[in-house]
Amino acid sequence: MSTHSQSSPALRVLDIVEGTIVDGPGLRTSIYLAGCPHHCPGCHNPQSWDPEGGTLLTVDAIVARVLESGFNVTLSGGDPLLQIEGVIELARRLRSEGLNVWCYTGYTIEQIRESPRLLPILSAVDTIVDGPFVEELRDISLQFRGSSNQRIIHLH
């Protein structure tokens, strides 16, 4: 029984897709979060830019749904770091359940390290896929990313 339900933050979620293979290794549950400040030209998901989009779900509800499938997790969007406080709690809770957590962000790891507000995400997730999508660097041969400037950075 969860002891977090009284203070569980809520996140704006566009979709939760279970059993996907495109957002990281193996079968994963991808959680697409609303809101993105980057507005990359050529973005494959511009409907995710609206920070008021999606449905408000508590971290408790999201964790419960993820645990039903048992798959490792990918946080995507939009940009999950737009909802940084709730995303950190969600990632920590999922990792405490033994799940591997990837996070896609348009910020670079250097920008994250320079931001006291964003920095805690680096200890909360296993892997960051960093950097904005750059249309001129689009490369469909790359695994788990859309353009060659984006990096897969394993943190744990």
Evaluate whether residue 84 is within a structural domain: yes
CA separation, residue 140 to residues 79, 106, 135, 145, 148 (Å):
21, 18, 11, 8, 9
Provide the pLDDT for residue 6. Answer: 58
- Its sign, for the CA torsion 55, 59, 64, 65, is positive
What is the domain range of residue 66?
Answer: 10-154
Evaluate whether residue 26 is within a structural domain: yes
Q: Label residue 3 by pLDDT band (50, 70, 90).
A: very low
Q: Determine the Cα–Cα distance for residues 108 and 67; give it in Å rounded to an integer.
A: 30
Q: Determine the Cα–Cα distance for residues 66 and 71; give it in Å rounded to an integer.
A: 7
pLDDT score of 45 more than 90: no
Task: Please provide the distance, in angstroms rounded to a whole number, between the alpha carbons at the two ends of the chain.
Answer: 28
Helices 59-69 and 84-96, axial angle in degrees (round to 10): 40
pLDDT score of 33 more than 60: yes
Evaluate whether residue 3 is within a structural domain: no
Provide the pLDDT for residue 4. Answer: 46
Evaluate whether residue 121 is within a structural domain: yes
Look up the CATH number of the domain holding residue 132.
3.20.20.70
Cβ contacts of 74 within 8 Å, gap of 6 or more = 20, 23, 24, 28, 29, 30, 31, 101, 102, 103, 104
Top pLDDT among 4 and 153 is at 153
Evaluate whether residue 5 is within a structural domain: no
Query: How many domains does the structure of the chain reveal?
Result: 1
Q: Which of 55, 61, 33 is nearest to 45 (CA)?
A: 33
pLDDT score of 75 more than 60: yes
Does residue 130 contact residue 80 with C-beta atoms inside 8 Å? Answer: no
pLDDT score of 64 more than 70: yes
Q: Determine the Cα–Cα distance for residues 151 and 129; give it in Å rounded to an integer.
A: 5
Q: Which of 40-49, 80-89, 130-139 has the lowest mean pLDDT?
A: 40-49
Provide the pLDDT for residue 44. Answer: 75
pLDDT score of 134 more than 80: yes
